[in-house]
Structure 1
Amino acid sequence: MLIVGSIRRCRILVLSVLIFGFFEHALQGTGGRCSFSGNVVTVFGCTGLLGRLLINRLAKEGHQIILPSRQDPYYTRQLRVHGELGQVLLLPFQLKDEESIRQAIRYSNVVVNLIGARYETKNYSFEETHVEGARRIARIAKEMGIQKFIHMSAMNASKNTPPTLFNKPSQFLRTKGLGEEVVREEFPNATIIRPGMMYGGNYDAFINYFLAIQRIPHRSLIFVYRKGEHTYKMPIWVGDVSKGVERTIVDPHAIGKTYEFVGPHCYKLSELIDYMYDRAHLSSRFLHRNYRRRNLNYLYRAYVAAVELPFKFFRNPSPLSIEWIRVVECTSDVLTGCPMLEDLGITRLVEFELTGGKHAYFCVNHYNEQEITEPYPLPLRSPPLYANVKPSNDIVTESKPFTMSTG
């Protein structure tokens, strides 16, 4: 009955659009949550960290939203309250079922694919999720005449990802790079977004990863790949990413482009870790007064494998994994000259010092009120890294690290 009712409301919406003309001319209301912007947006991967904020932002702009999900309705019902009555519609679907995908995008003119996985299961591998799943959605969207297709990739995604830990490349980044290629093949005008490490909320894989209970330093030691001295990150607040995705939906110049969404500043990973542990009061407690970072050794690698094993058995995300060490600790964020948030008119970005430290405190101390102490030393900033790519559109890039662009 839920599916029938949702489909019926979609049909009524589409009929009203056809009566008034095309989507861009079917505006209703004065704008805002209680209006209709003319866009019907299907968001795959709506239950993730980015999906929740994106849905809230789309609902505020008056977009009609269709949310396909394979989870139990108990875990998706809270998404309805982001919009007005009938504005947010839920549909069951399976990534390997083409008919359910067609049903989810049948009445839409914009499709956003946020589906991604940090770990593999017996039902979905990285290849099936990032490559075959992305190809399937893009192909069906093209066949059904979708106007805009937005695909979420990852920073540093490439099919030629260099080997790192254990002399093996990151399968997450490799399959994300392959996913970009297959999306371009199936939907040439797709908009691809490569976000940096997103933080914020209770589900991020950056701050929560370093401050997980399994990661809290034992005997004042924290193990990081090469002590974090050779990795550089540009973390970005998830709210800025959702703002950029919403802007690509309404910006006609974003069609067919590849964007890199990164934070306003670049940091050495060791600086970020020290800052997070200082703000979480982990480096000042009695057992951690001699806090120091150490390089990964074979004993710690065996510990990570032991922690990861039961989570694989119960098919739950592990707070520690070899694969995520390759992504977060072994890979630096390198810009390739693609357009960024500034090209979409988003110039005021949230700095990590403003929200990252507060989130680090609540990750460990939960709901306790933060103690007022002396100011914490801020993490030192570093110039961003640029890849050695062929300049285009008057964008000059450098192959030397720590060299700012001259164009």
Structure 2
Amino acid sequence: MNEQIATVFGGTGFLGRRVVRALATAGYRVRVAARHPEDVDFSDIKDQIAPVAVDIRNERRVTEAVSGSVFAVNAVSLYVERGDLTFDTIHVKGAERIARCARAAGVDRLVHISGLGVDEHSPSKFIRARARGEQVVCNAFERATLVRPSVMFGSDDAFLSSLKTATLLPVVPLFGKGNNRLQPVYVEDVAAAVVELARQAGGQGQVFELGGGSVYTYRQVLQVVMSHLGRRRVLLPVPFTLWRLLVATLSLMPNPPLTRDQLVLMQSDNMVGENAKTFADLGIDPYSLEDLLDECLPTNSG
């Protein structure tokens, strides 16, 4: 195809940098739009990318980033509020700004990365902001495609890394009884889905829920990880009442290892809905967590 420009906001993030590489491989010239685009080494695809320093709170910078693009992705994420970086600033106002500027610039397709379980009535500020973000994006760019991945895993993720650390303990605490269900999704599969949405018009104005090939309880995920690492540990159910007390104490720390919003996420299932559009609608067969543990969680790395 003739070279076309795609802009990836959050192009240096865990998902964003995979999307950049996947789009470049598909033949796009990719603008890596991030506050610090030099943070990731893209030297192997340098002829296909253009780093652009963008803070999504700056309308002029956002407008410049999408100018001339046929496709844009908002993969910007914020999981812990710090100073003036709030969930509302990034996931609502920033998301609306990207969508509005993309539409004004004549961008043909916009993919907005959200997450499973969005709920405007959730007790979690993060989840509420994600839900409002979807609403304002669709109001500003009515043909936007919403992509809701489950918890993502990969070779340098936070998910598996945190489980590996947790299983160093002789007794591993569970959230409640550990029966909440998860559908972990491989980050490269999500990136592949974004490229498919860039290629085809059928996904415009649609919502895609992306989960991995298998569903696990949290307890089962821990057991799979421990088996892979060759560790035997006691799994201890801990009531959410105690977790809430712990989180209240941890919140006094500058960088708490567990936040109230993360705890809320662990109290409910994180799975693809029965009637949702999924990987299957994009012709992608997603990996399961167990398929890739050797690659994503090497046993010789400590």
TM over 0.5: yes
> Is the 1:49–1:201 contact (alpha carbons within 8 Å) kept by the matching residues of 2?
no
2:176 corresponds to 1:222: no
> Is the 1:223–1:296 contact (alpha carbons within 8 Å) kept by the matching residues of 2?
no
2:177 maps to amino acid = K
324 and 339 in structure 1: CA distance in 2 versus 1, 3 angstrom threshold: same
In the alignment, the residues of structure 2 paired with residue 98 and residue 232 of structure 1 have an alpha-carbon distance, to the nearest angstrom, of 40
336 and 181 in structure 1: CA distance in 2 versus 1, 3 angstrom threshold: farther
Residue correspondences, number: 302
2:182 maps to amino acid = K
Q: Which residue in 2 is equivalent to 1:403? A: none
> Is the 2:150–2:270 contact (alpha carbons within 8 Å) kept by the matching residues of 1?
no
Q: Which residue in 1 is equivalent to 2:133? A: 179
1:327 maps to amino acid = L
Unaligned regions of 5+ residues in structure 1, if any?
1-26, 28-36, 162-168, 313-317, 369-407
**Percent same amino acid at aligned positions?**
25
For residues 158-237 of structure 1, the aligned pairs below 5 Å read 158-161=119-122, 169-202=123-156, 204-212=157-165, 215-216=166-167, 218=169, 220-229=170-179, 231-237=180-186
2:83 corresponds to 1:83: no
2:117 maps to amino acid = N
Q: Which residue in 1 is equivalent to 2:258? A: 320
Q: 1:104 aligns with which of 47, 52, 65?
A: 65
In the alignment, the residues of structure 1 paired with residue 219 and residue 71 of structure 2 have an alpha-carbon distance, to the nearest angstrom, of 40
Q: Which residue in 1 is equivalent to 2:235? A: 292
**C-alpha displacement of 1:295:** 1.4
Structure 1-normalised TM-score? 0.69
> Is the 2:155–2:297 contact (alpha carbons within 8 Å) kept by the matching residues of 1?
no
2:13 maps to amino acid = G
CA deviations over 1:116-170 (Å, ceiling 9, x no partner): 1111111211111111110111111111111111100101112123xxxxxxx22
50 and 240 in structure 1: CA distance in 2 versus 1, 3 angstrom threshold: same
CA deviations over 1:178-206 (Å, ceiling 9, x no partner): 1111111000000110111110121x232
**C-alpha displacement of 1:252:** 1.4
CA deviations over 1:2-57 (Å, ceiling 9, x no partner): xxxxxxxxxxxxxxxxxxxxxxxxx4xxxxxxxxx432000001111111211111
59 and 358 in structure 1: CA distance in 2 versus 1, 3 angstrom threshold: closer
Structure 2-normalised TM-score? 0.91
1:95 maps to amino acid = I
> Is the 1:207–1:360 contact (alpha carbons within 8 Å) kept by the matching residues of 2?
yes
Q: Which residue in 1 is equivalent to 2:296? A: 359
Unaligned regions of 5+ residues in structure 2, if any?
none
2:175 maps to amino acid = Y
323 and 82 in structure 1: CA distance in 2 versus 1, 3 angstrom threshold: farther
Q: Which residue in 1 is equivalent to 2:20? A: 55
2:200 corresponds to 1:247: no
In the alignment, the residues of structure 2 paired with residue 155 and residue 186 of structure 1 have an alpha-carbon distance, to the nearest angstrom, of 21
In the alignment, the residues of structure 1 paired with residue 44 and residue 191 of structure 2 have an alpha-carbon distance, to the nearest angstrom, of 14
Q: 1:44 aligns with which of 1, 5, 9?
A: 9
1:325 maps to amino acid = L
In the alignment, the residues of structure 2 paired with residue 72 and residue 55 of structure 1 have an alpha-carbon distance, to the nearest angstrom, of 12
2:153 corresponds to 1:153: no
In the alignment, the residues of structure 2 paired with residue 357 and residue 104 of structure 1 have an alpha-carbon distance, to the nearest angstrom, of 38
The DSSP-based 3-state class of the residue aligned with 2:263 is helix
296 and 273 in structure 1: CA distance in 2 versus 1, 3 angstrom threshold: same
2:286 corresponds to 1:337: no
1:225 maps to amino acid = F
In the alignment, the residues of structure 1 paired with residue 192 and residue 127 of structure 2 have an alpha-carbon distance, to the nearest angstrom, of 24
Instruction: Specify the structure having the higher radius of gyration (Cα).
Output: 1
Structure of higher RCO (CA pairs closer than 8 Å, 6+ residues apart):
2
Q: Which residue in 2 is equivalent to 1:405? A: none
In the alignment, the residues of structure 2 paired with residue 263 and residue 243 of structure 1 have an alpha-carbon distance, to the nearest angstrom, of 13
The DSSP-based 3-state class of the residue aligned with 1:252 is coil
In the alignment, the residues of structure 2 paired with residue 305 and residue 136 of structure 1 have an alpha-carbon distance, to the nearest angstrom, of 33
2:77 corresponds to 1:116: yes
2:124 corresponds to 1:141: no
CA deviations over 1:250-287 (Å, ceiling 9, x no partner): 0111111111111112112211112112222332xxxx
2:74 maps to amino acid = N
Superposition RMSD in Å: 2.2
> Is the 1:194–1:259 contact (alpha carbons within 8 Å) kept by the matching residues of 2?
yes
2:264 maps to amino acid = R
Q: Which residue in 1 is equivalent to 2:207? A: 258
> Is the 1:191–1:255 contact (alpha carbons within 8 Å) kept by the matching residues of 2?
yes
The DSSP-based 3-state class of the residue aligned with 2:15 is helix
> Is the 1:55–1:82 contact (alpha carbons within 8 Å) kept by the matching residues of 2?
no
In the alignment, the residues of structure 2 paired with residue 110 and residue 174 of structure 1 have an alpha-carbon distance, to the nearest angstrom, of 27
Q: Which residue in 2 is equivalent to 1:132? A: 93
